[in-house]
Amino acid sequence: MPLEIERKYLIKDCSFLNTLKDGVKIIQGYISLDENRIVRVRTKGEKAFVTIKSKMTQVTRHEFEYEIPYAEALDILNNICLKPLIYKTRYKVFENNLTWEIDIFEELFKGIVIAEVELEAENTHINLPAWIGQEVTNDKRYYNAEMVKKKCLK
């Protein structure tokens, strides 16, 4: 069964963000926002995916992701997904032998910048880059589904 083991961090020094290149535009929406399982549709550049995740621990989830036709993803995002949708640009940064994904949120969530790193195991040692700030893996406010949920309730 595929697993996602991920840790999330805020960025304390954003000065390097202006140097990032080759960002990928992402639009994502949620069909289900259950606390222990989510169903998400996402466009990522010119591709589209449906993803199903179920929570095992705060760091580890089962994750199933399948590519779907782009036009169908847009239809699902516009007509089925809960609102608001999430708009962000994702950059990949390779540092300290790890690939960091930097998400810069736009529109309703503008100003939020999160760094995520996927790991082989929960106890993997991480040499944090100098620009990494507070870890927010255990703070559900920084999970995309939770951000949408809070806006849905207002």
Burial 73-109, CB ≥16 within 10 A → b, else e: beebbeeebeeebbbbebbebeeeeeebbbbbbbeeb
CB-count exposure of residue 130 (10 Å: 0-12, 13-18, 19+) = exposed
Amino acid in the structure at residue 143: Y
Q: Which residues are catalytic?
A: 30
